[in-house]
């Protein structure tokens, strides 16, 4: 069975975040509905422009290290 994957482009990020009850603050960081900055899976605040993926565990950065870690977790079925 194939795991479902949804892809989107950078122009759609605000709509995707809205569906997840998230916003973008005036500095470009993702926030929750209480305007608290959201952390990526690496434990650091993340800008909307840095999102490379979204899992049930959180946001994944669009850098090679984060994407390799995501790939490894998916192979091990930890997500």
CB 24 within 8 A of CB 14: yes
Q: Is residue 18 part of a domain?
A: yes
Counting the structural domains of the chain, the total is: 1
Q: Which residue range is the domain that position 18 belongs to?
A: 10-75
CA 53 to chain centre: 5
pLDDT (tens digit, 9 = 90+) per residue, 27-67? 999 999 999 999 999 999 999 999 988 888 889 999 999 88
User: Model's pTM, two decimal places?
Assistant: 0.80
Whether the Cβ atoms of residue 61 and residue 68 lie closer than 8 Å to each other:
no
- Does 5 map to a domain? no
Is 2 within the bounds of a domain? no
Residue 1 domain-assigned (yes or no): no
Instruction: Give the pLDDT of residue 4.
Output: 57
């Amino acid at each position: 069975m194939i795991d479902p994957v949804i892809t989107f482009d950078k122009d759609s990020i605000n709509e995707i975040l809205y569906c997840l009850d998230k916003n973008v603050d005036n500095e470009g960081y993702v926030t929750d509905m209480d305007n608290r900055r959201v952390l990526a899976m690496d434990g650091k605040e993340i800008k909307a422009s840095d999102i490379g993926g979204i899992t049930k565990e959180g946001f994944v950065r669009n850098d090679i290290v984060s994407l390799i870690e995501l790939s490894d977790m998916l192979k091990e079925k930890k997500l």
